[in-house]
Structure formats: structure tokens, C-alpha cells
């Protein structure tokens, strides 16, 4: 009876039906994409607010499908998370980013920090640390130049085991950043106990600066909290000079956004880096 109810529901809601179908198509296409190496990483520069110099970059996955063309992460990351494909996908991303770090180190860009997005599902798997250790060993990447971006929501009410996992990753030398900060409604008191070195203010709080009073309050509170806790702050989604000036005045360490550059394919990123690197 339950089965029947389900198919009736799908039958009478054609829009939903299409969406379920699209998801299934997307899921099997994504499975193939991981196997066939259709994914690539683009890198978005992160620059120091004090002097505008390049300090790091965020690796962002891109999918070029032979027929569908460019599929955006906003479309396929949620599908990857629901289907569990995020685990092999995330492993691929981390390995690729680590290889890139090694290549760059050989090309005189060894100081560049490469930030990698880690999904909650990936981070919460019991074998996550082992996976990271294996990839570091296999690629020879410098852990001090790899930053794991873990979302605030993934670390809400962290268990002792997850807390210990963060400590372990920190002991390996990896940098740890709290991504999408401000979106998780988490209590701030847990922050001081987390072994992280950076907060990433979510783009939704940066977008309407400096005009929007609520967003300004959140961004401003985050910056002063970070200062008190001795954490670095990076603001994402900076598009305008006014936003940069506002963040500069409040002690934000670094920024990432279209004002400086979109995420770039490797070759273009290297050209960009050559123009903005430390002398
Ligand atoms: P995110 O981690 O918050 O990444 C920042 C997103 O903001 C990127 O979108 C970037 O292109 C975009 N962005 C950066 N600066 C600006 C700006 O100035 N203006 C605007 N409008 N957008 C800006 P993207 O690459 O489409 O990725 C979307 C999300 O997909 C990411 O959000 C992240 O949650 C997820 N994602 C991307 N790559 C990966 C990955 O390799 N692994 C995992 N787990 N998630 C990923
Ligand atoms: Ca991120
Ligand atoms: Ca974000
Ligand atoms: Ca994110």
C-alpha cells in the first residue's frame, strides 16, 4: 500500500516526477564523470587585504559533461551528497589539489596555500583521517600548504570523536578553516575549543555590505570575535571596492571574490599568480 501511495504521488505531481528523473540521470552521469575524469579543478585566488598580494586559493570542482556542457557545483554537489558519491568525488578533489600543490611547489609557488572543500559526509566518515594521510603520502604534498574547509554546519555540536579528528588533522600540519561561517546558527562558545585557524565569512553576509545593517552586524561581530580568539578571517564573495574597504577597516585578513578574480583553470591561475605573487 505504501508503494502504491508513493507511485500515485509521483504520478499526480508531474513536476516532481521530472525532478526525480533528472536527479537519477544526473546521479548516473556523475558516477561516470568521476570514473572518466570529466571533472577538473578551478582555483580562485585569495589575497591579503593589507597589500593585495596572492596568499592562497580555493579549489572548486568543475564538471564539463560531453552533452550537457558545464554543470555547476550548485546542481551536482547536492546530488553527490544525497547519493554518497561525494565520498569518491571528495577524495578525487583532495588528491588532485594535493598533486597541484606539489606541481606548484616545483614551479616556485611552494608558499601558496591550497584550500579544499570537505563535505560533512566525507568528514564524518570514520576513515577520513586515514584517507587524508594516504593522499598526503601518495602525492608528497606539504600538509602546511593544504587547508581543509569544513562547513560550520558539519561542526555543529561536534562529538568528542570529531573533535579528536580535528586535533589529529592539525597535528599532521594541515590548516583547518570553518567554511560558510555565520550560516549555521551555532553557539559561539564552542568556537574557542575547536582547533581551527581560520573563519570564512559566507558570501551571503558580504554581498550587501556595507549598506545592509544586519549583515554588517554579523560580519563585524565575526571579525571582532576572530580577533579575540586569535583566528584569521577570510571573506568570500567580495565583488566591490566598497566591500573591500569596509573589511579592511575592520581588520579582515584576506579576501576572495570576483573583485580580484573568478575561479580560474590552472594555466590562467598561474598567469594571474605571476602578476600578483610576492616578489
Ligand atoms: P563555497 O565553498 O561557498 O565556494 C564559494 C563559491 O562562491 C564558489 O562557487 C565561487 O565561485 C563563488 N564565488 C566566489 N567569489 C564570488 C563572488 O565574488 N561573487 C559570486 N557571485 N560568487 C563568488 P562554486 O564554484 O559554484 O561552488 C559552489 C559551492 O559548491 C561551494 O560553495 C561549495 O559548497 C561547493 N563545492 C565546490 N567545489 C566543491 C568541492 O570540490 N567539494 C565540495 N564538497 N564542495 C564543493
Ligand atoms: Ca568553500
Ligand atoms: Ca560560502
Ligand atoms: Ca561551502
Supply 188's cell numbers: 559561539
Give the model's confidence band at 105: pLDDT under 50 very low, under 70 low, under 90 confident, else very high: very high
pLDDT at 13 over 70: no
The number of the ligand 1 atom at minimal distance from the alpha carbon of 59 is 41
Q: 181, exposed or middle or buried, with CB in 10 Å at 0-12, 13-18, 19+?
A: buried
Question: What is the distance between the alpha carbons of residues 166 and 177, in angstroms, rounded to a whole number?
Answer: 11
Tell me, using a 6 A CB cutoff, whether residue 151 lines ligand 1.
no
Supply 48's cell numbers: 591579503
pLDDT at 3 over 50: no
Q: Which ligand is nearest to the CA of 203?
A: 3
Tell me, using a 6 A CB cutoff, whether residue 261 lines ligand 1.
no
Tell me, using a 6 A CB cutoff, whether residue 119 lines ligand 1.
yes
Q: 247, exposed or middle or buried, with CB in 10 Å at 0-12, 13-18, 19+?
A: buried
Tell me, using a 6 A CB cutoff, whether residue 60 lines ligand 1.
yes
CA atoms in the 13 A half-sphere facing the CB of 200: 26
CA atoms in the 13 A half-sphere facing the CB of 87: 11
The number of the ligand 1 atom at minimal distance from the alpha carbon of 207 is 19
DSSP helix/strand/coil, 238:
coil
Tell me, using a 6 A CB cutoff, whether residue 179 lines ligand 1.
yes
Q: From atom 1 of ligand 1, which residue's Cα is the shortest distance away?
A: 180
Q: State the distance from the centre of ligand 3 to the C-alpha of 3, rounded, in angstroms.
A: 38
Q: From atom 16 of ligand 1, which residue's Cα is the shortest distance away?
A: 237
- Which helix (H) or strand (E) covers residue 153, if one does? none
Q: Which ligand is nearest to the CA of 152?
A: 4
Q: 88, exposed or middle or buried, with CB in 10 Å at 0-12, 13-18, 19+?
A: middle
DSSP helix/strand/coil, 107:
coil
ipTM reported for the complex, 2 dp: 0.97
Tell me, using a 6 A CB cutoff, whether residue 62 lines ligand 1.
no
Q: Of 12-16, 30-34, 96-100, 120-124, which has the strongest mean pLDDT?
A: 96-100
pTM over 0.90: yes
Lowest-confidence region among 35-44, 66-75, 173-182, 185-194: 185-194
Tell me, using a 6 A CB cutoff, whether residue 258 lines ligand 1.
yes
Amino acid at each position: 500500500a505504501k508503494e502504491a501511495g508513493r507511485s500515485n504521488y509521483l504520478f499526480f505531481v508531474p513536476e516532481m516526477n521530472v525532478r526525480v528523473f533528472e536527479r537519477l540521470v544526473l546521479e548516473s552521469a556523475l558516477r561516470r564523470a568521476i570514473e572518466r575524469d570529466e571533472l577538473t579543478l578551478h582555483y580562485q585566488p585569495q589575497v591579503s587585504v593589507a597589500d593585495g598580494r596572492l596568499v592562497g586559493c580555493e579549489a572548486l570542482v568543475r564538471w564539463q559533461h560531453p552533452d550537457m556542457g558545464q554543470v555547476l557545483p550548485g546542481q551536482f554537489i547536492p546530488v553527490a551528497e544525497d547519493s554518497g558519491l561525494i565520498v569518491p568525488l571528495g577524495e578525487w578533489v583532495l588528491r588532485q589539489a594535493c598533486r597541484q600543490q606539489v606541481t606548484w611547489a616545483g614551479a616556485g609557488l611552494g608558499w601558496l596555500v591550497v584550500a579544499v572543500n570537505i563535505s560533512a559526509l566525507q568528514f564524518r566518515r570514520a576513515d577520513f583521517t586515514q584517507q587524508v594521510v594516504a593522499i598526503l603520502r601518495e602525492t608528497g604534498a606539504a600538509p602546511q600548504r593544504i587547508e581543509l574547509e569544513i562547513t560550520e554546519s558539519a561542526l555543529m555540536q561536534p562529538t568528542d570523536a570529531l573533535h579528536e579528528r580535528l586535533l589529529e588533522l592539525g597535528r599532521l600540519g594541515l590548516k583547518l578553516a570553518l567554511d560558510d561561517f555565520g550560516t549555521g546558527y551555532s553557539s559561539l562558545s564552542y568556537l574557542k575549543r575547536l582547533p581551527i585557524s581560520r573563519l570564512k565569512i559566507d558570501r551571503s553576509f558580504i554581498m550587501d555590505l556595507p549598506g545592509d545593517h544586519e549583515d554588517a552586524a554579523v560580519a563585524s561581530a565575526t571579525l571582532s570575535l576572530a580577533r579575540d580568539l586569535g583566528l584569521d578571517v577570510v571573506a568570500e564573495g567580495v565583488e566591490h571596492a566598497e566591500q573591500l574597504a569596509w573589511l579592511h577597516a575592520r581588520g579582515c585578513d584576506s579576501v576572495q571574490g570576483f573583485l580580484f578574480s573568478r575561479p580560474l583553470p590552472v594555466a590562467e591561475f598561474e598567469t594571474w599568480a605571476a602578476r600578483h605573487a610576492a616578489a
